[in-house]
Amino acid sequence: MTHTWSYKPKQAASFVGAQLSSINFKPVIFMVLGSGFRDAVKDWSALLNIPVAQIPSYPQPGVQGHGANLLAVRLETPSGQKDVLVATGRTHLYEGRSAFDVSLPVFMAHELGIRNVILTNAAGGLAAHTPTGSVIAISDHLNLSGHNVASSTSPAQFVAMDGAYDKTWREQVCNAVQIKTGVYAAMLGPSFETAAEAKMLRILGADLAGMSTAQEAIAARMNAQKVFACSFVTNMAGDSSSDHSDVLKAVETSMPTIRKTLLAAVEFAPL
């Protein structure tokens, strides 16, 4: 019997891989862009643009600010030329998707032979060092979503998550761009955190609150992929005046820092 968790990523990878091979494109990095992050790569010239609606089994993003394409981008960095496969958006658990669905692009990347994953998201700040407008490298996460993609496999996998976010990679990016680090709390969403929930998250040790990323990071670690992740802080968690339009506006105002962070993450990706 063919299991969905193994068949669907292979099916998606077979389709994407054939198109990448036709242009001799060999990605070493898979990048997922969070809310509003499409503009961060608008100056990157794509050798190939694949609408995800064409990819078998691939989940289609349905939230404002999320793109629905895979871009094959060849970047020149101080450390050399690198081929990067960029997902311009993602799906979320709160859209009624399973943990496997939201993680399928990372499993697909593994099937394509990609061993480095860059994850981005918009998040609410919870600490003094995570003010609105800052970019924060994720050092660890609290998965408080009530879901875990490692239970999607048959049998379920026991995945070691210590060091889930690669320390050396993170430190190199932080030193290059001068950004700080924080612990990300992954909530189910789509409602923003109440003041009491924000207080709880601070007590638990979280510096950031969001609605994505953790499942993808778990999926990456299931396949021994290395992960760099960062959040752009769009609001202070627990502030009831914030809405999704504020998220997108905040991302736009700090786009130069976001772009520098993504380029540094590509430059220092382990090979």
CATH number where 148 lies: 3.40.50.1580
The predicted pLDDT at position 123 comes to 93
The predicted pLDDT at position 76 comes to 92
Residue 217: phi and psi, rounded to 5, are -65, -40
Which residue range is the domain that position 141 belongs to? 4-267
Asked whether the CA dihedral 88, 110, 51, 49 is positive or negative, the reply is: positive
Q: Give, as one character, the DSSP assignment of residue 18.
A: H
Find all residues with CB under 8 Å of 24, minimum gap 6, and list them: none
Which of these ranges, 18-32, 52-66, 103-117, has the smallest mean pLDDT? 52-66
Q: Does the pLDDT at position 1 exceed 50? A: no
The predicted pLDDT at position 241 comes to 63
pLDDT tens digits, 144-162: 999 999 998 878 889 999 9
The predicted pLDDT at position 110 comes to 97
Look at 204 and 65; give whichever has higher pLDDT.
204
> What is the tally of structural domains in the chain?
1
b/e map 78-107, b = 16+ CB within 10 Å: eeeebbbbbbbbbbbbbbebbbbbbbbbbb
Supply 55's token pair.
């990819």
pLDDT tens digits, 100-119: 999 999 999 999 999 999 99
Query: pLDDT tier at 5 (50, 70, 90 boundaries)?
Result: low
The predicted pLDDT at position 67 comes to 80
The predicted pLDDT at position 129 comes to 97
Q: Does the pLDDT at position 128 exceed 70? A: yes
Tell me the pTM. 0.94
pLDDT tens digits, 228-256: 999 999 888 887 666 666 666 666 778 88
Q: What is the mean pLDDT of the chain?
A: 92
Q: Does the pLDDT at position 2 exceed 60? A: no
The predicted pLDDT at position 254 comes to 85
